[in-house]
Structure 1
């Protein structure tokens, strides 16, 4: 082959090689595929234990040798509200979520045999923690869980590692328009005033509690209120709910005591609050800053049951907060 012929051929080959190199350099890199099967998760166990003569259903997950988080649910639901949060937290923590008597899958004693009061509910949870041999723990307090948990925290302040408060009240500022008919019931304890409150645990009332103030109703599973109805439809349960509505009046005089507990013991506190909640509006979230020095507040653009729409966000806030406070 003549030299004049070889040079053009070599030039073409060199250009081709360079082009291939440039293509290889700029070619989109193959995405790394995560094998979900290898991501470690902890199973949730569903158990029943007898506390003060009552069968209490609870969910438990995570290593018992890790710090414990106790999740206390609100009205009118059960530990079901924590089903996803339990999974998210149990990789790093030991998690317990009991149902109160008359709620969820716990036993519902007859009203003649059991006092449906916040004092008695707190004694059930206190007994539950004793039987489970939990000496130190963080409390996640939502709705009814707040007055139940604050009773325990104020009684055993040195057992509390932190507080996580989600739409749970301890200040007068947090009892606004929603509470007007309930306060009327407190002040005038009649059948008629009680009857006016039954709509809160009707199917429409339950759906409203889950969907009011959320950004996307389609993200809220109807299973929530349908499951709640299973315990609310039990014989005598409507009277139990009215008894709890009436007894809520006993929480308000304890607010100063709980606020003193905050000031005296300064528990590390995370507030994750659905700011569009009509039941416990954001006005109830702000006053905690008056009494707590180590408090972190996040107002979330959702409603009363904030976990339904902002569960991942709340779980991340909790994990970061506990890590920051060396609860790990």
Structure 2
């Protein structure tokens, strides 16, 4: 073989082996757009990326954050999926109706989020849940199991053993819903406390972007939002009461489930992630050496794991 032919063959082999990954590495990430939609008189803000003809992934945020928590994950999934991330009422850039006009319960949040999916004509979707997004998502899945293609839980709990002692002050309010016990929880709404939620259990807190907890604290500090959050603290007791119902949904329908868990979470313990395996035979559970807001420090690793899971369980069925 001549030198020119050898070089040409080598180049062709390299292109075959590495061309696809090299192109993927340099390909621009899908653009994220920002929208509002009216749902039963409540203006809901949402982020969206990817081709709407592709399988949909619905990202549900938790307390005290918003769809902003998914800002880095959305484009990572949108290369092959239609990704939608709403802000629930009282959070982020969605409306915060007056408490006299809108009941801040998890039942009502789930009703609004169901209405959101219907307003966008999302007939089937994989759902990622985090923190408060979990009990909202469990309600949505239990009510409409035919809509759910798969579940990703990032520190989204459904089991008693997943609740840490960090819930004790809130449990005290459940047991004795006095004004004194309600007021005792206000410290959880301060910038210092919200920052702690982001940084506790994180090996390198400098990796946590300050705009995340600063934005959360600023939105929680809006007039009247503290009372909204305290209402939800109180109503969380109803989520725990419904855990057996949610677990029955898992057992009956066996949705593909991936748990990606910050193992140092001060609120939701690793046994809560392992417990999924009791009810879903093929549940996949992975732990990461980080805290509650695991995407702040491990979005690359978790994003890759989610992508593999969706590729195996959702893309092939579309």
Which TM-score applies when normalising by structure 1? Answer: 0.88
Deviation at 1:108, TM superposition (A): 0.9
Give the Cα–Cα distance (whole angstroms) in 1 for the partners of residues 28 and 253 of structure 2.
Answer: 36
Deviation at 1:41, TM superposition (A): 2.2
Q: Tell me the number of residue pairs that the alignment of Structure 1 and Structure 2 aligns.
A: 299
Superposition pairs of residues 207-226 of structure 1, within 5 angstroms: 207-226=195-214
1:47-103: per-residue Cα shift (whole Å, max 9, x none)?
Answer: 111101011100000000000000000000000000000010011100000001111
Which TM-score applies when normalising by structure 2? Answer: 0.91
Superposition pairs of residues 1-328 of structure 1, within 5 angstroms: 39-328=27-316
Pick closer, same or farther for the CA change 1:36–1:284 going to 2, 3 Å. closer
CA contact (8 A) 2:55 2:314 kept: no
Give the Cα–Cα distance (whole angstroms) in 2 for the partners of residues 326 and 262 of structure 1.
Answer: 17
Deviation at 1:36, TM superposition (A): 9.0
Give secondary structure in 2 for the equivalent of 1:285: helix
CA contact (8 A) 2:32 2:49 kept: yes
CA contact (8 A) 1:268 1:294 kept: yes
1:85-137: per-residue Cα shift (whole Å, max 9, x none)?
Answer: 00100111000000011110111111111100100000111000001001110
Give the Cα–Cα distance (whole angstroms) in 2 for the partners of residues 254 and 200 of structure 1.
Answer: 24
1:191-226: per-residue Cα shift (whole Å, max 9, x none)?
Answer: 111111111110110000000001210100110111
Q: Radius of gyration: which is bigger?
A: 1
Deviation at 1:327, TM superposition (A): 2.5
Give the Cα–Cα distance (whole angstroms) in 2 for the partners of residues 37 and 74 of structure 1.
Answer: 31
**Which residue number corresponds to residue 4 of structure 2?**
none
Give the Cα–Cα distance (whole angstroms) in 2 for the partners of residues 106 and 317 of structure 1.
Answer: 30
Deviation at 1:284, TM superposition (A): 1.1
CA RMSD, 1 decimal: 1.8
Give the Cα–Cα distance (whole angstroms) in 1 for the partners of residues 280 and 166 of structure 2.
Answer: 27
